[in-house]
Amino acid sequence: MQGQILCKASTFIAMTDETFFSATAMPDREWWAALWPDPEGVIRSLGVEPRMTVLDLCCGDGYFTAPLAKIVGGRVYALDIDQGMLEQARMEVERSGATVKKWICADARDLGEHVSEKVGYVLIANTFHGVPDKTGMARAVASILEPGGHFSVVNWHPLPRERTTVLGEPRGPRTNLRMSPDEVCVVVEPAGFVLDQVVELAPYHYGAIFQMVKTA
Ligand SMILES: C[S@@+](CC[C@H](N)C(=O)[O-])C[C@H]1O[C@@H](n2cnc3c(N)ncnc32)[C@H](O)[C@@H]1O
């Protein structure tokens, strides 16, 4: 249903401290584009391939949704809790000439209520550090993945925030929220995943790519 953003019955999701994940506000486009000059290359390096069905979990303003949609030929579910972000993402995808299968305005933890088919790939970029129950989140992801499907977590490396500068200023979540790939494994693998590979996303990020082995 391209062009239409579906919200839950109440239309507004109250964004309290409990619903909005910590330190996950969408960055300004100026420094985001300076940090990620090649979003399509990032998506390809994470193993996304044509014809996969993908969920872009916490898609923000669509910075990665547009190249995702282009690569997989529109087989994308895009979810965010912020309707304003989804509106920007919809325009970004439209500008790129791609399409999205379904826009979902919801809390990421409720994804099972909104994604009615099994998908082959779930991406969560620049958000996992702020999820309170990370294993619970990974379980929710596992519930909508095909057997053998992949779950990618793109995170800031656990460097001190003052060292991760972009356009001359420290950027990204506060240092104590940042996770190493090993720390991500500890919380994701109990949900039925094994680590497939860790991709370096210079200068400050990595992508931890997991494969689902069983539903935990
Ligand atoms: C830092 S942005 C990252 C956006 C995009 N993935 C990227 O890397 O460019 C994080 C996004 O997570 C969304 N978000 C925060 N809490 C959420 C929740 N509980 N459920 C769904 N989305 C949430 C925010 O609205 C924001 O758009």
Instruction: Annotate 119-147 with DSSP letters as a single string.
Output: EEEEEEES-GGG-SSHHHHHHHHHHHEEE
Q: Residue 61 falls within a domain, yes or no?
A: yes
Q: Residue 19 falls within a domain, yes or no?
A: no
Residue whose CA is closest, atom 4 of ligand 1?
Answer: 60
Confidence of residue 10 (pLDDT cuts 50, 70, 90): very low
| Ligand 1 center to 99 CA (angstroms) | 20
- Which atom of ligand 1 has the smallest separation from the CA of 154? 8
Residue 215: the pLDDT is: 59
Q: Residue 115 falls within a domain, yes or no?
A: yes
Q: Residue 71 falls within a domain, yes or no?
A: yes
Percentage of the chain beyond pLDDT 90 is 90
User: Who wins on pLDDT, 216 or 121?
Assistant: 121
Predicted TM-score (pTM) of the model is: 0.94
Average pLDDT estimate for 8-32: 79
pLDDT at 6 over 60: no
The predicted-structure confidence for 142-175, as pLDDT tens digits, reads as follows 999 999 999 999 999 999 999 999 999 999 999 9
Q: What residue numbers bound the domain in which 119 lies?
A: 52-212
| Ligand 1 center to 211 CA (angstroms) | 22
| Ligand 1 center to 202 CA (angstroms) | 21
Residue whose CA is closest, atom 17 of ligand 1?
Answer: 20
Residue 152: the pLDDT is: 99
Return the structure tokens found at 124. 């969560």
Average pLDDT estimate for 181-197: 98
Residue 12: the pLDDT is: 54
Structural domain count, the chain: 1
Residue 214: the pLDDT is: 73
CA gap 191, 210 in Å, rounded: 11
Got the DSSP string for 32-75? HHHH-S-HHHHHHHTT--TT--EEEET-TTSTTHHHHHHHHTS-
Residue 9: the pLDDT is: 39
CA gap 110, 141 in Å, rounded: 10
CATH for 157: 3.40.50.150
Burial state string for 184-200 with b = 16 or more CB within 10 A and e = fewer than 16? bbebbbebbbeeeebbe
pLDDT at 102 over 60: yes
Q: Residue 125 falls within a domain, yes or no?
A: yes
The predicted-structure confidence for 40-90, as pLDDT tens digits, reads as follows 999 999 999 999 999 999 999 999 999 999 999 999 999 999 999 999 999
pLDDT at 1 over 50: no
Contact 200, 151 (CB under 8 A): no
Q: Residue 14 falls within a domain, yes or no?
A: no
Residue 24: the pLDDT is: 97
- 123 backbone dihedrals φ, ψ, rounded to 5°: -115, 130
Q: Residue 20 falls within a domain, yes or no?
A: no
List all residues whose CB is within 6 A of at least one atom of ligand 1.
19-21, 24, 26, 58-60, 63-64, 80-82, 85, 107-108, 125-127
CA gap 203, 106 in Å, rounded: 31
